[in-house]
Amino acid sequence: MDQNSNPEPKWKGEVKAKVSGPTPDQAWSLLGEFCSLNRWVPSLHTCRKLDGVEDQPGCVRYCAGSVNRADPGQPVGWSKERLVEFDPVGRSYTYEIVETNKGFGSYAATIRIVSVPEGCCVEWSFASDPVKGWTREGFVAYLEKLARGVAKRLEEEIASVAEDKSA
């Protein structure tokens, strides 16, 4: 039987994490820098621009960190990611993975800061081929954990900036 005759459908999902304290604009001023994801995602130790202009479609970043479930023998999981759309007014950007060792085929995601009555929320939506080494449920749970970590780091950074200004 042809292995491609019944491919697993695309994975799609969205995770959200409330950010307590910061306004949407404060949170976006930090998270909206495409090549600074390592400041907000604890498992990333590197995120740097490889090509293009920061925050302009076509910009490519290199991200590396300690998570690589596709090949646990590799100590570092890395990806090259291209910025597809950047919307500072809507406080969002969309990117796609163009090369990786982390088991991804097609993967695109949008990170957005949205206003909620209590402040703001980080939304991370994605569409991807099934990812080697993951179940869909496990991958969504991982993204939920990442989104909560991003929200916590944003809260800490903005609280720190507020303390510095009041000192």
Q: pLDDT tens digits for 81-93?
A: 999 999 999 999 9
Residue for token pair 């990170």: 111
pLDDT tens-place string over residues 29-56: 999 999 999 999 888 999 999 999 999 9
Tell me the pTM. Answer: 0.88
In angstroms, rounded to a whole number, what is the distance separating the alpha carbons of residues 149 and 124?
A: 12
Alpha-carbon gap, residue 131 to 18, rounded angstroms: 27
- Could you tell me which CATH number the domain at 12-166 has? 3.30.530.20
Tell whether the model's pLDDT for residue 112 goes beyond 80: yes
Contact (CB, 8 A) for 113 and 88: no
Tokens of 126: 């994605």
Q: Which DSSP state fits 133? A: T
Q: What angle do CA 84, 90, 95 make, to 5 degrees?
A: 20
124: nearest Cα among 152, 102, 139, 146: 146
